[in-house]
DNA sequence: CCCTGATTCGC
DNA sequence: GCGAATCAGG
């Protein structure tokens, strides 16, 4: 795809909002890289982005109160979690299956040493969509419409696509693994 | 090592 | 015009 007016407009907006090039690249999707974004930003003459640079002389010495900043953050996170999640579900059969499974896996409160087979990702290790990195597992955990929706977040192993070793294994053998998980749950129940 | 934007240059 | 590769830096 190329730089349509729409995409350029979105790029301009997000850039001026202060999103990083890689964040914008992810937002525009389509395999766009941050390099592409940065290149475009330069060609558009948008580089050198600074807060209120236009009226640079009288800078804003007053910092936003911390509380206000936190509120802002929360709002951003909620929006970010709600919106971009759906395409992942629609565009990928594996993900759709995963989301069906995720709530079941997530509710298993396994406190003891996990068998490697278990798909329980500790709450503290899970990440929001904003915390996803190129190198982290994108396996969804929970209900995408809920605020506590998270991704696995584990470090990706080489050759596992968007997922970590364990999740990619399941992703590539969904039928087999779902049966196996069902058995394990029967046993433990 | 993670990340950031800036720059170059072949396409 | 585009963006991968590279650079310089936090």
Reported confidence tier of residue A135, pLDDT bands at 50, 70, 90: confident
Average confidence (pLDDT) over A84-109: 35
Stated pTM of the model: 0.40
Confirm whether A23 is domain-assigned: yes
Q: Confirm whether any atom of chain B, the nucleic acid strand, is less than 7 Å from CB of A98.
A: no
pLDDT band at A35; cut points 50, 70, 90: very high
Protein footprint on strand B: which nucleotides are under 7 Å from a CB?
A: 2-8
A37 CA from B7 C1′ (Å): 14
Protein CA at A9 to nucleotide C1' at B3, angstroms: 26
Query: How much is the pLDDT for A22?
Result: 80
Q: If pLDDT is split at 50, 70 and 90, which confidence band does A3 have?
A: confident
Residue A54 maps to a domain: no
Tell which phi-psi region holds residue A45, choosing left (phi > 0), alpha (psi between -120 and 50) or beta: left
Residue A146 lies in a domain: yes
Residue A182: inside a domain: yes
Does residue A144 belong to any structural domain of this protein?
yes
How many distinct structural domains can be found in chain A? 2
Write out pLDDT tens, residues A118-133: 556 666 678 887 777 7
Residue A102 within a domain: no
Q: What is the pLDDT of residue A21?
A: 83
pLDDT digits (tens, 9 = 90+) for A46-91: 777 654 433 333 333 333 333 333 333 333 333 333 323 333 333 2
Q: Residue A33 is part of which domain span?
A: 5-44
Residue A161 placed within a domain: yes
**Domain assignment present for A152:** yes
Burial class from Cβ neighbours inside 10 Å (0-12, 13-18, 19+) for residue A112 reads exposed
Tally Cβ neighbours within 10 Å of residue A58.
Answer: 7
């Amino acid at each position: 795809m190329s730089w349509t007016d729409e995409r350029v407009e979105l790029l301009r907006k997000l850039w001026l909002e202060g999103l990083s090039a890689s964040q914008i690249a992810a937002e525009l999707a389509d395999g766009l890289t941050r390099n592409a974004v940065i290149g475009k930003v330069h060609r558009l003459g948008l580089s050198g982005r600074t807060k209120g640079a236009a009226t640079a002389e009288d800078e804003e010495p007053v910092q936003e109160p911390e509380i206000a900043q936190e509120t802002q953050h929360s709002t951003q996170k909620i929006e970010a979690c709600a919106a971009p999640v759906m395409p992942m579900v629609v565009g990928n059969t594996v993900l759709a299956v995963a989301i069906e499974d995720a709530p079941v896996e997530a509710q298993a409160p396994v406190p003891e040493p996990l068998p490697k087979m278990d798909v329980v990702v500790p709450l503290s290790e899970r990440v929001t969509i904003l915390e996803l990195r190129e190198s982290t597992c994108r396996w969804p955990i929970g209900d995408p419409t809920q605020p506590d929706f998270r991704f696995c977040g584990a470090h990706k192993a080489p050759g596992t696509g968007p997922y970590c070793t364990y999740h990619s294994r399941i992703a590539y053998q969904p039928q087999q693994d779902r049966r196996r998980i069902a058995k394990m749950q029967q046993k433990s129940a």
